[in-house]
Amino acid sequence: MSFRILGTGSYLPKRSVYNDELSQFIDTSDEWIQQRVGISSRPICTTETTADMAYNAALGALEMSGVSPSELDMILCATVSADYAAPSLACSLQSMLGATCPAMDINAACSGFIYTLETAAAFFGRGLKRILVVGAERLSRVVDWSDRSTAVIFADGAGAMMLGDGDTYISSKLCAKGDAEVLCIPSFAGTSPYYEVESKKPYVHMNGQEVFKFAVNAMCTDLADVVAAAGLKIDDIAWIIPHQANARIIDAAVRKLDLKPERCLKNIETTGNTSAASVAILADELFRSGKLKDGDYIVMAAFGAGLTSAACVIRWGGW
Ligand code: UT7
């Protein structure tokens, strides 16, 4: 089943936190972060909730597409940092938009937005006509700000796509390899007087090197697989939208697959790693840049906790 993109939107908090600001209270440096991760600043919420960011991104996608909230058949949100465990972020967003359609969240960590696109494609197969898909994260809330290996990486933001029925979602691949050791965010322990096991702190725990290796392999394999499944060659792809986790992961994939670096998009320098929002924010930047031509093939590829990975090929146009 397939769809076409009717509009996109994104939202980044106005407050950019620069590397030098972090080095005032974490044992790190601007030089280390730029060289090892490729980030110079990252947007961090000062007042916004995850739902506020999702709402602003959704407004952009609705406005671009000319769809009103009352016309929505479904709202799907990808997130690991919703404001509430329940209700879902999608239900909070539905209320803010004044929509009445079903709404639910999907958690596939940083691969979540592509998992959500695939879920939307299945719903189009059930006859739905307009689905709003949003990736939104307030990772500044789940990071341990004394842990230099994660605090310098993660950031806040949201991206959205308004989808209509159509035939431009060409191929896709979803993967999961259950592993809660390498990268996880434990839930809050609670106050049960009966539970006897000590819980991990409810912050991001990450073995960076293990994730790095998984990420490069997963991204290269998934990207090549979805391009082949679409009946295309890598050179046919106009734009690659990779998850923005580390500039060196993207550069490694460029080298391994012999991609044209200028076709493999990056905004990590100023957006940081926004997990499930990352590819959606970058897609909105591309779609609003005027660089896209009707018929351009785009690949999105992401990886993250789970361990999950996902990729898809989308053709631009089809209106
Ligand atoms: O989107 C979710 C998926 N997440 C990812 O894809 C993350 C993937 N992993 C990474 O991006 C990288 O592994 C990191 C950026 C997390 C770490 O970079 P690295 O090049 O793998 O560094 P490392 O873990 O091998 O650490 C090298 C050194 C260590 O010091 P020693 O033991 O060599 O003395 C670390 O303690 O760098 C140290 N280090 C830092 N130094 C300054 C770790 N973090 C920092 C820091 N500032 N922020």
Q: What are the pocket residues of ligand 1 if the criterion is a CB atom closer than 6 Å to any ligand atom? A: 28, 32-33, 36-37, 110, 148-149, 152, 208-209, 211-212, 215, 245-246, 249, 273, 275, 304
Of the residues 243, 246, 264, 312, which is catalytic? 243
Ligand 1 centroid to residue 23 C-alpha, Å: 15
Compute the average pLDDT of residues 2-26: 97
Spell out the long-range contacts of 188-197 with Cβ–Cβ below 8 A and sequence spacing 24 or more: none
Is 273 marked active-site? Answer: yes
164 pLDDT tier (thresholds 50, 70, 90): very high
CA–CA gap between residue 20 and residue 34 (Å, rounded): 11
Share of the chain above pLDDT 70, in %: 99
Q: Going by C-beta distance under 8 Å and a sequence separation of 6 or more, which residues neighbour residue 17? A: 41, 42, 43, 44
265 pLDDT tier (thresholds 50, 70, 90): very high
CA–CA gap between residue 246 and residue 212 (Å, rounded): 8
- Which residue lies with its CA nearest to atom 14 of ligand 1? 208
Is 205 marked active-site? Answer: no
What the block records as the tokens of 54 is 């999702």
**Least confident residue range of 52-66, 179-193, 260-274:** 179-193
CA–CA gap between residue 225 and residue 195 (Å, rounded): 45
- Which residue lies with its CA nearest to atom 7 of ligand 1? 208
102 pLDDT tier (thresholds 50, 70, 90): very high
Residue 61: which H helix or E strand, with range?
helix 50-65
**Which of 80, 149, 179 most suits a substitution to test ligand 1, by most atoms within 8 Å of the C-beta?**
149
What the block records as the tokens of 89 is 């972020």
- Which residue lies with its CA nearest to atom 21 of ligand 1? 209
Task: Report which of 279, 208, 295, 172 is spatially closest to residue 33, judged by C-alpha positions.
Answer: 208
The pLDDT score that the predictor gives to residue 1 is 79
51 pLDDT tier (thresholds 50, 70, 90): very high
pLDDT at 287 over 70: yes
Ligand 1 centroid to residue 152 C-alpha, Å: 10
Say if CB 210 and CB 182 are below 8 A apart.
yes
CA–CA gap between residue 295 and residue 314 (Å, rounded): 9
The pLDDT score that the predictor gives to residue 198 is 87
- What is the Rg, in whole angstroms, of the alpha carbon atoms belonging to the chain? 19
The pLDDT score that the predictor gives to residue 317 is 81
What is the tens place of the pLDDT at every residue in 170-208?
A: 999 999 999 999 999 999 888 899 999 988 899 999 999
Pairing state between β 130-138 and 74-78: parallel
**Least confident residue range of 112-116, 167-171, 194-198:** 194-198
Is 243 marked active-site? Answer: yes
pLDDT at 318 over 80: no
pLDDT at 251 over 70: yes
The pLDDT score that the predictor gives to residue 319 is 58
What is the tens place of the pLDDT at every residue in 128-138?
A: 999 999 999 99
- Which residue lies with its CA nearest to atom 44 of ligand 1? 149
pLDDT at 50 over 90: yes
**Which of 145, 212, 268, 273 most suits a substitution to test ligand 1, by most atoms within 8 Å of the C-beta?**
212
Compute the average pLDDT of residues 35-48: 98
Residue type at 251 in one-letter notation: D
Compute the average pLDDT of residues 228-249: 97
87 pLDDT tier (thresholds 50, 70, 90): very high
What number does the ligand 1 atom closest to the CA of 149 have? 44
The pLDDT score that the predictor gives to residue 190 is 87
Ligand 1 centroid to residue 272 C-alpha, Å: 14
